[in-house]
Amino acid sequence: MIIELRARVDEDGQLVFDVPISLPPGVVDVVITYHTAEEVEDEARWEAQFAATPATVFQALIDEGLREYRTGETSPFDPNQE
């Protein structure tokens, strides 16, 4: 199960979590990723471009992928291969 927690670093350098309620009991791994201002701006540009893309463009990509799959032009996905 993946539970994503959002957080921010406040003015005092303290990590402040937006913690969901009712988390299930158990062991968890915590990974902290720090986003630079440049990364935040880049992500905002990506989101804006994505939002501005007409649904027909995505549908065309889906149709192309399905056609390639049905005609045997694809290969099995191997997550261990780069």
pLDDT at site 80:
87
pLDDT in tens, 36-65: 899 999 999 999 999 999 999 999 999 999
Distance CA 32, CA 16 (A): 12
Residue 42 lies in a domain: yes
- With respect to residue 3, please indicate whether it lies within any of the assigned structural domains: no
Q: Classify residue 55: in a domain, yes or no.
A: yes
- Enumerate the H helices of 1-82 as residue ranges: 37-52, 55-70
- The closest of 14, 13, 26 to 3, measured between CA atoms, is 26
Number of domain units in the chain: 1
User: Range of 61's domain?
Assistant: 35-71
Q: Evaluate whether residue 47 is within a structural domain.
A: yes
pTM over 0.75: no
Does 28 fall in a domain?
Answer: no
Q: Is residue 5 part of a domain?
A: no
